Structure 1
Amino acid sequence: MADFFYVSITGLQLKRVWHAPRFWLHAAASMSQAKSADGCLSADARTIDGVHHTLTVWTSRKAMLAYLSTGAHLKAMKAFKSFATGKVYGFETAKVPAWPTAHALWLDKGRQV
Structure 2
Amino acid sequence: MKLISFNVNGIRASATKGLRGTLHELDADIVCLQETKATPEQVKEALEGLDGYHVHAHSAERKGYSGTAILCREEPVRVDLGIGQEEHDQEGRVITATFADHIVVNAYVPNS
Q: Taking structure 1 as the reference length, what is the TM-score of the superposition?
A: 0.28
The structure showing larger relative contact order (alpha-carbon pairs under 8 Å, at least 6 residues apart) is 1
| TM-score, normalised via structure 2 length | 0.28
Q: Which is richer in helix?
A: 1
Higher strand proportion: 1
